[in-house]
Amino acid sequence: MADFLQIFKDKVERRDARIGVVGLGYVGLPLAVEFAHAGLRTVGIDVDEVKVRTVNRGVSHIEDVPSAVLRPLVRKGLLRAQADYRGCRDLDAILIAVPTPLRKTRDPDISYIVAAVDKIAPQIRRGQTIVLESTTYPGTTDEVVRPALEAGGLKAGKDFFLAFSPERVDPSNAVFTTRNTPKIVGGTTARCAEAAAALYRQAVDQVHMVSSTQAAEMIKLLENTFRAVNIGLVNEIALMCHKLGLDVWEVIDGAATKPFGFMRFYPGPGIGGHCIPLDPHYLAWKLKTLNYSARFIELASEINSAMPRVVVQKASEMLNQRRKSLKGSKVVVLGVSYKRDTSDVRESPALDVLGLLHEAGASVTFADPYNDAVHIEGVGDLRGKPLTPALLRGADLVIVVTDHTAFDYDLVVRHAKQVLDTRNATRAVRRGRAKISKL
């Protein structure tokens, strides 16, 4: 009988394997580029035809993937994109990196995974390796993906290989990229893990194998829950410092001089992005089905999601000191992305801050070099303005919500009347006319 694992490994090592990446977003595109860069012919599959067209023109829609890197790979025929699932049978490995959002009820929405797997399942053949990369609750690969792929009669571990390998991409991180961030791999069987590990070794420097898909799924959720809980803790420490009349940033800097047993986390206007605000709820939901309440997750979520209100309350207090109310005041928000130096506004706390300010009757606008416009629930589309001295001078209050490095903070402090700095972005600014308050 043919040893499908050996055949697959040989093909991968000869760079002869053809790879499919489903979902060409923040995770999928860098991954596809990394495989193509390693010399493996890669096809990206995305239902978004605009993304498909731009990738095929060699133009990147993701900041971390420069078009100058993408274009030569497309020209050499190592990378192309398509908007349908034709030809999946001819691929040797298929990696799935589609969104995993939450429903309004905060329950996991794995419909994108199901949709992708339903398209792949009828085309599955012996010797293929399928890997789920989307963050999800422990059990998804084995309980949802596996039965769908096995429906045609082939068996995972025997006929094809199935694994879970969480993506750890940190958008805008110039030090740790897809290539030099170790990759976790858990297989449905040991042979499945071996197949997936052999594949990733072509594109990433270090692969760490674990005993099961569930362990790999849980590792990702531990990583993101760790961040959510620690950000929740430091946000609460910031609230405590405010009550005690202390500067939380000084307190964190001091604590961080301890060379062991402490890790810096920063307070801010709330958490955003596709991961930290959502992923822990995947875990909490799974535990709820086992009659267990994930208390740290719920508490951190409560604190973190209250931060935009804290920002607006603080804004109101600052205006009050100058005998002004939020109603009728001109407020400029700097930065709408969920984190520095990215355009991603998914779950961004800035959207909540803008919405709450609008609700309170303030006249709001924003400046963000990465975003021309944003949609605010209940308000509509809001267009940004360039950050100019006139904009700053005309504002009653400027709120730094996202600390993009492109902002000229000297200019901000020189021209604004009052600055609410939720990120300590103005720490290096010596003096100006603005009164600066921190979170």
Ligand X SMILES: NC(=O)c1ccc[n+]([C@@H]2O[C@H](COP(=O)([O-])OP(=O)(O)OC[C@H]3O[C@@H](n4cnc5c(N)ncnc54)[C@H](O)[C@@H]3O)[C@@H](O)[C@H]2O)c1
Binding site for ligand X (CB under 6 A): 22-28, 45-48, 51, 97-100, 112, 115-116, 134-135, 167-169, 171, 273-275
**180: number of CA atoms within 13 Å, CB side?**
5
Neighbours of 20 (CB within 10 A): 24
Q: Specify the residue, 207 or 275, whose C-beta has the smaller distance to ligand X.
A: 275
Question: For residues 276 and 270, is the Cβ–Cβ distance under 8 A?
Answer: no
Q: How far apart are the first and last CA of the chain?
A: 66
Q: How far is the CB of 27 from ligand X (least distance, A)?
A: 3
Residue type, 246: L
Q: Specify the residue, 280 or 335, whose C-beta has the smaller distance to ligand X.
A: 280
Q: How far is the CB of 193 from ligand X (least distance, A)?
A: 20
Instruction: Please list, in sequence order, all residues whose beta carbon lies within 8 angstroms of the beta carbon of residue 335, skipping any fewer than 6 positions away.
Output: 350, 366, 367, 368, 400, 401, 402, 403, 404, 407
Q: Specify the residue, 12 or 94, whose C-beta has the smaller distance to ligand X.
A: 94
Q: Per the residue annotation, which of 88, 192, 241, 275 is the catalytic one?
A: 275
Compute the distance between CA of residue 345 and CA of residue 388 in angstroms, rounded to an integer: 22
The residue with tokens 């860069």 is 37
Q: How far is the CB of 131 from ligand X (least distance, A)?
A: 12
Question: For residues 62 and 26, is the Cβ–Cβ distance under 8 A?
Answer: yes
Q: How far is the CB of 358 from ligand X (least distance, A)?
A: 26
Q: Specify the residue, 47 or 233, whose C-beta has the smaller distance to ligand X.
A: 47
Q: Specify the residue, 60 or 437, whose C-beta has the smaller distance to ligand X.
A: 60
275 catalytic? Reply is yes
Compute the distance between CA of residue 179 and CA of residue 182 in angstroms, rounded to an integer: 8
Which residue is closest to ligand X by CB?
A: 25
Coil, helix or strand at residue 135: coil
Q: How far is the CB of 316 from ligand X (least distance, A)?
A: 33
Neighbours of 285 (CB within 10 A): 18
Q: What residues act catalytically?
A: 275
